[in-house]
Amino acid sequence: MLDPKLLRSNLEQISNDLKRKNYDLDVSSFESLEEKRKHLQVETQELQSVRNQRSKEIGIAKGRGEDIAPLKALMDELATTLKQKEQDLHALQSQLNEWLMGIPNIPHESVPEGKTEDDNRVERTWSEPTQFDFEVKDHVALGEDLQQLDFEAAAKITGSRFVVMQHDIARLHRALIQFMLDMHTKQHGYTEVYVPYIVNSDSLHGTGQLPKFKQDLFELDIDNEYYLIPTAEVPVTNIWRDAIADTGQLPIKYVCHTPCFRSEAGSYGKDTRGLIRQHQFEKVELVQLVHPDKSWQALEELTGHAEAVLQTLELPYRVVTLCGGDLGFSAAKTYDLEVWLPGQDTYREISSCSNFLDFQARRMKARWKDKDTKPQLLHTLNGSGLAVGRTLVAILENYQKKGGSVRIPKALVSYMGGVTELRAD
């Protein structure tokens, strides 16, 4: 959530900045709510002042032995009026906060202008796309020829956008998870955490999925308001909701493997083939909570940690900075890592690494302090390190051989128990 003080002091500039995200700020609504809030706040403060003065008068009159019944009657009437004003002010503040919850974060000045993903800026590439001397297959054809990816069985069990993995592909999927966790804990200094896969609505409000993106979530039809997690970002970041970190604990760095569940409500008809856009998929997520002075440095560091996975697996990729129009709701800046997929003859996103500044922390009341300061808002960041299913896709397509088998990257052989190649049974 944006700082209301910032909106009050610089409304026109913020409105212009948000246009870079294709968002039109309803300035008149804010001004109307603010005018009502200020008026009610002044009235409430004046009544509180009168109440305090009359309390003193009653005390003085009582000390003199005077009849205080008339004064108490006036005080009771005042208390009733004040209570109503306080309730009105609280209701209006709640309305204002709900309105603020729907406003996206401001893009950082380094974010390129643009409306769609076509306007994203390529920052760098790593390794050249794999060259083949035979006609390549996509991961669906490879997995089905190996008889180890079964989309029909998953459709029978559940429906579309699910998969059943078998034999060595299932083992490779599991190996990737362990490999990523080991890299981030042993080499990059993250603490591994295990979290619930079901969260409450407060957690989703905290990281920005609610209220705007409710249609993308799987809501559970039970008494309480519970949802399946769309990403580990939600439960992991919310560990620090309504909490205060000591400065000596910073930076806080978590890595977490979870399944993720998304309805893909806004992607009807898009990427319906294969593993690219599933309702259920796995990710290894990186989350950092840092001192405000360190968040831009942390973004570069976190992005480098995700890149290290691709480099170790020797998968060609590029890094792009998302333009304003393609930037996520809560993010101030995002780098996408896009891996090369020869079966599609294009780069596809495999990780998004974002700095949210204090946007999420304000919603969550996630703060830090030291002995000399009052509690202040943390800065939060996260990124996939990596999306496991898409990494599996990239390995199948980049490491395929002419006969339809698939080599195992050197870094994964030990995790595969010495298996060096995927073959049909």
Q: Is residue 326 part of a domain?
A: yes
Q: Is residue 134 part of a domain?
A: yes
Quick one: tokens of 414? 């030990």
Token representation of residue 147: 């008889």
CB 423 within 8 A of CB 146: yes
Residues 191 and 301: their CA atoms lie apart, in Å, by 16
Report residue 267's pLDDT band, with 50, 70 and 90 as the boundaries.
low
DSSP-based three-state secondary structure for 21: coil
Alpha carbons within 13 A on the beta-carbon side of 205: 17
Contact predicate 228/195, CB 8 Å = no
Residue 110 placed within a domain: no
Q: Does the pLDDT at position 310 exceed 70?
A: yes
* Euclidean distance between CA atoms 93 and 88, whole angstroms: 9
Contact 279, 262 (CB under 8 A): yes
Q: pLDDT tens digits, residue range 79-138?
A: 999 999 999 999 999 999 999 999 999 999 999 999 999 999 999 999 999 899 999 999
Give the domain range for residue 46. Answer: 26-101
Residue 269 in this model has a pLDDT that exceeds 90: no
- In this prediction, residue 177 carries a pLDDT of 98
pLDDT at residue number 268 = 61
pLDDT digits (tens, 9 = 90+) for 71-86: 889 999 999 999 999 9
Helix (H), strand (E) at residue 33: helix 27-63
Shared-domain flag, residues 181 and 62: no
Do 363 and 397 belong to one domain?
A: yes
For 25, phi then psi, to 5°, come to -70, 130
Looking at the structure, do residues 297 and 212 belong to the same domain, yes or no? Answer: yes
Domain-embedded: residue 389: yes
Q: How far is CA 251 from the centre of its chain?
A: 18
Instruction: Identify whether the C-beta of residue 145 lies closer than 8 Å to the C-beta of residue 404.
Output: yes
**166 lies in the same domain as 72:** no
Q: Closest by alpha carbon to 104, among 19, 27, 34?
A: 19
Distance CA 305, CA 303 (A): 5
**Which CATH number covers residue 95?**
1.10.287.40
Q: How confident is the model at residue 272 (pLDDT cuts 50, 70, 90)?
A: confident
- Counting the structural domains of the chain, the total is 2
| Cα angle 61-65-70, degrees, rounded to a multiple of 5 | 50
Look up residue 93 and give its two tokens. Answer: 């503040």
